[in-house]
Structures are given as structure tokens and as C-alpha cells.
Structure 1
Amino acid sequence: MSRHFNAVLNTILRLHEILLKQPDSAAHSCSHEKWRWFQNCLGALDGTHIKVNVSMSDRPRYRSRKGDITTNVLGVCSQNGEFIFVMPGWEESTSDSRVLKDAVSQPSGLKAPKGYYYLCDTGYLNAEGFLAPYRGQHYHLTEWRGGNPPKWPKELFNMRHSYARNVIERAFGSLKDRWAILRGRSYYPVDIQCKIITACCLLHTLIHREMDSEATFEEPHLGEDDSSEMNIENVNSVERLMSGLNGGIILQTKCLRIGIMYD
């Protein structure tokens, strides 16, 4: 049984190049409600934690705040929720930004063509190819519900950023709902469990692609947006404030300007 399990697992992993494809970088103008504010955005990324089985000596590095032994898994998905990159194996104690740095540095790792980018949360730093929200501002969608619209341009940007980036959180949720082996305790060695994680992402992407109705996500709801009162002068002041900072911050402001002008 073990021999057949590993044979099937390795066969699935050979589909990696076929199923996990990075989006076409051809310039496009997206009109979808979530993505029209983020032209040339390829998708979103985030980390999630999945239980693994490691030696006693390694457990402190893999132990989460809840006491579970987990690996920090970097996942990236396209705008439609298909996984396009996955990298398990890092210890739970490793920061998200360190995991991303490793993914980008690998020869066959995560790449963002020049002029394109992925959305990420505040666990990552703004850099070329990666766009994070403004720090120190409301970010989570629940903070704007119940008649509490964004009050400032940065909050408006963060709300729209969170609304779009939520696609990766829903992708992880759907993945774990489908594959029980990713939810419970692992009895496999950590290297095998990491292969299982990747294989589940591959099969999940195949199902998403071939059986679209099975992979339909429930969109998060946003309340009424009172951003019409925000004008270009507000945005210009933000641009002056951010002038001279790195490319990620400049891109934040450009996206924010587009968002206000659309309103």
C-alpha cells in the first residue's frame, strides 16, 4: 500500500508544470468589480498553516501559537481563484516575508513580470511585483460593514485591496474543505506531507478548471461606499506624502488615484 501511495503521489506531482501555470502577463484591462482598481494585477498571495509530523528536536520551530506543529505554506492564486504557485515546508516560526523571499529567489520560483504584481497583506513588504495595503489603517472587510464606510483615501484603497485579496483566503478555505488530510493531524514524515500538500493543490486546481460549478466561491459582501466625497485633491496630498518612497508605495498611490477617479 505504501509503495502504491508514493507512486500515485509522485505521478500527481509530475503534473506541476501543467496545472500550476502563472497567469498570462499580456496587458489587460479588467472590468470586474473587485479587480478594476488593480490593473495588471495577476492575483493574490498569502500564507496558511497545515499540520505536519516532525522530530521532537524540530518541534519548537514548527510549533504555532495554538501549540500545533505546522508548516508555513505560501500559496498564490489567480484572479479566478486557481492556485498558480504553492510552496510548503517552512517552519511555522518563519515570517511570511522570509518565505516569500525564498520563493522569489528560486530559479523556478514565483515571478512577477515587470509592470505586473500580486496583492499581499501587511505580513509582507511592498516591493516590485508585490502590493501590500497601507499600514495603520483599517483593512479587514468586517471593519466597513454596518454603515461604516471608508473615511479617507487610504482606507478606501485598503477596503478595495482587501476585497480583491480575499480570493486567496477563500481559495485556501475551499482547499481545506475539500481535502480532509490537510485539516487534521499528519502521520506522514514532513517531506511526504509537503508533497501531499502540493498534490492536493494540483488536484484542486484541476477540479476548479474542469468543474467550475464545484469551485464557485461566495463573494464577500461590501456595504454602500460613501467614497464619492473623496476627491482628487485628497489623493494628490497622499501622493505628495509618499513621494520618493519605493515602487510598492508609489503603486499603492496610483491604484488609489484610479479608484477615486472611477467614483
Structure 2
Amino acid sequence: MKEHIIEVLQQIEREYDVKVLYACESGSRAWGFSSMESDYDVRFLYVHTKEWYLSIDQGRDVLEVPSQDSLSIPVHPQLDMSGWELTKALRLFRKSNPPFFEWLHSDIVYYEKYSTLEKLLAIEPKVFSPVTCLYHYVSMAKRNFRSYLLEEEVHHKKYFTVLRPLLAGKWIILNHAFPPIEFEILVQELVSVGPVRQSIEELISRKRARLDQSSKLEPPIRVLNDYLQQEIEYMESMMKDMKASDKNTSTHLLNNIFRELLEQAWL
């Protein structure tokens, strides 16, 4: 599949007159509990020509293949690709956008040029905001917990939509750093051996074995529901005592990265 992904990226460059800088996996494959039927959720950064940036009108800053943007070559049905234009990505990076941080921390990198990843990770400490990322993950965990896991019967695969952001938030509280992407690392580091961890490991095994049919409803896993409720309440209380950092002063660094990558891409 990697060869096909690179082929599609190269075709995107040709048909949309852009240069791809970086592409990685995001989703269940990056999290470490995919099955054979899981989609490939590829996320990428790209830069337009210099002329595109000299227009008085701002152009579209997202490419989505094949859902919104077509190509003249066939795209594998399991392949979902979404790309952000570089200045859009850098503005979100400046705001400590967690999804973009996840792209940069993915263990599955399909493509990179011009040391893009190295440049961005070098200034990560300048833009990373524990408060911003924690708020994102706790809000996601709380919202998904209420939406999916409080009925008399639930889809057990939905536990991942609460556990993963919850453990990511817990990592931030303990380490004041962005969390690893792989779910099992978070479990091993943050969940003590016992009934809760056993239940999580059973869910992972079922997910990998494709035993978590999306249409099947089952009783909630009480030990997990109790754990999730307690952890969400704990993290909400911790957030009250955390203060946001001073105004971000990384704009000039991000401007330099943009200009450097633009020059390198279109030499």
C-alpha cells in the first residue's frame, strides 16, 4: 500500500500543481489497533507555487482525495487522504492544534522532503500548550462518553473514542508533553495492572480480530465506565488549576519555516 500512497501523492502534485512535504498515517493504524479491513487514513502537508501566495484572494487550503478532490488515476477504496496547505498548518501549529501534533508524532511516515518534520519538531516546545491540548482531549473524552457509553446497551468499539483521548490527557497532566500516538504505550504507562487494564486489553484483542462488529450492541463494561467517569472528573478538576502560557511568540520562526520550505520546494 505504501507504494500506492506515494503514487497518489505524486499524482496530486502533478494535477494540483503543489509539492507534498510530509505524509503520515493517522487513525487506527497509527494508534496500533487496526484490523485488515481498517482504512488507511493518510494526512499530508503541501505547499503551492510562489504565485499562489501572491494572489489578493485566498485560495482553498485543503485537499481531500478521493472524497472531495478527484484524480485521473484509480485510488484504492481503503485509502482516505486529507492534506493541509502549509500556511494553514502552521497557523494551527501556532495554536497548539492537537490533530496536527498527532500528524507530527505519527510512527508511520510515508513520505517526507526538505527535513519538514525535523524543522517542525524543533520548534514544538515553542508552540505546545498543555492547557490547550488537555482541554481538547478531556472535552472529546467527556463528549464521547456521554454520547456512546451511558445507554443500557452500547457498541464496545466506542470505548476507544473515550479511552484514547482520556489517556492522552492524563499523559499531558503527568508529563507536560504531547502524548505518544500508539494507544498501547499509553495503556502500559498509565493504567495499572488490574481489572481496568484487563478489560482494555480484551477490547484491543477483539478490535484486531475484527470481533467488534459495529452493529452489535452489548451491555456496558461497568468497570470501564466507572474508571472513565472518575478519570474525567479528576482531569476536569486538574484543569481548573492549570494556566495557559503567555502569548505565543513563535510567529517569526514559523514564517521562516514557511519561506524556507517554499524556496526548497520550488527551486
TM-score bucket of the superposed structures, by smaller chain = under 0.3
Name whichever structure is richer in helix by fraction.
2
TM-score under structure 2 length normalisation: 0.25
TM-score under structure 1 length normalisation: 0.25
